[in-house]
Amino acid sequence: MKNKNANIGLGYGTTGPHGVKRNRLPVTRSLRIPGLFLFFLMALLSCKNKAEKQVTHTSAAKFYYTCSMHPQVMQHKPGNCPICGMKLIEVSETNTAKADEIRLTQQQIQLGNILVDTINDKRIGDKVIFTGTLNFNLYKTASVSARVAGRIEKLYFKNIGDYVRKGDPLFDIYSEELNNARQEYIYTLQKKQTLDNSLIDYDRLVQSARNKLLLWGLTEKQIQDLGNNKQVTRLTSFYSTASGFITELGVKEGDYVMEGGKVVNLADLSTLWAEAQVYASQMNDIDKNGTVTVQIPDMPGKEFKGHIEFVNPEINPDTRIDLVRVVIPNTDRQLKPGMPAYLIFRAPVHKAFSLPIDAVLRDGTVSVVWVQTGKNTFKNKMVETGLETENDIEIKSGLQKGDIVVINGAYLLNSEYKFKKGSSPMGGMKM
């Protein structure tokens, strides 16, 4: 009987050429092992490729390309800026700043020359400087008005800025009422001369008519000439009662003026007011009884000395600003109202946080600085300022020792914030 396994040849109990049995795995088992290995290997590679594609896709979604000069340009592919042609730089979307912060690229920081410094104690004082303006000394101004109603027939000074001396003729006026009063004075004088022995007191009548002419602006000489000549002219001249430069012309030739109507304003420029607006918090830092030095930027090398004449007792509640006024001499009349001026006050020396003046941004109501909160990330903070010198400004509150503050480029950061966020970083802030 033949062995069934011998016909199979590759079975479990096959007999070798010498009758020796050998245990061999079936062909099907021997072929499945490498096949499964290959299958698992291919599956592993497939998963890896999918994972790599997924990682690549996720990474691509976290980056965009923008221009350092035009941050509004945002593309998902590298290239050049469509506005200026510069090469776009890669920016991480996950590395964005908070809502109240702004993040710049390293290239933007370099191009904007943005510099920072760590705030620390510093000695500040000796003097404090405020920016002001030269104005008219209102105690040295005068207004010349018409003393009687009538028509201006002639103006002797027609330009603003003309200098008028006291006693110079200003205008000629035609006034029916004034002419009647002059005629009355002449008539009273004539009656006094012819009827002096009558029962009527003509001396009193003459004096009354004369006083009326004086009240209407005629001079003693004009009344005396009227009594001597006994003639009433059609026009009456009026003369300046003060000296000064014409700052305002209220009429022109041919205009009709009412009694009390303004004709000209005159200003004596022998002294001027140097006025500066000072924050209420800075008032205690200046010597109110000391000498104030006033410098004019348009006249380098010249200084004018004066004293504080007036400090406004009322502070504007919206701006918290006070007005300080200093009187300075102007003997040679080189100074003109409207000129900018620097008012230098003496102040005590003390230790305080201080920053360069350009580091503090002010809009009249609040003062802010930009503080670095992280790498290339900045946030604005409201501060209270104090003493201000030629180069530095005191920080009374709002910052702590060790804060990293932008000392150059604050205005650029402010503009960039407005451009990116669409609003001012100072919006809604109140002192």
Residue 333 has a pLDDT of: 87
> Cα dist. 329→11, 50, 333, 337 in Å?
129, 87, 9, 13
Residue 152 has a pLDDT of: 95
Torsion of CA 41, 47, 52, 55, to 10 degrees: -160
Residue 10 has a pLDDT of: 38
For the chain, list residues with pLDDT below 50: 1-33, 48, 50-61, 94, 431
CA 291 – CA 146 distance, rounded (Å): 42
> Cα dist. 162→266, 345, 356 in Å?
9, 35, 44
CA 104 – CA 372 distance, rounded (Å): 11
Write out the H or E segment, with its range, that includes residue 75. Answer: strand 74-75
> Cα dist. 395→351, 372, 378, 385, 413 in Å?
11, 17, 19, 5, 20
Residue 92 has a pLDDT of: 62
The per-residue b/e assignment along 129-141, b for 16 or more CB within 10 angstroms, e otherwise, is bbebebebbeebb
Looking at the DSSP bridge assignments, the partners of residue 75 are 65
Rounded to two decimals, the pTM is 0.53
Residue 32 has a pLDDT of: 47
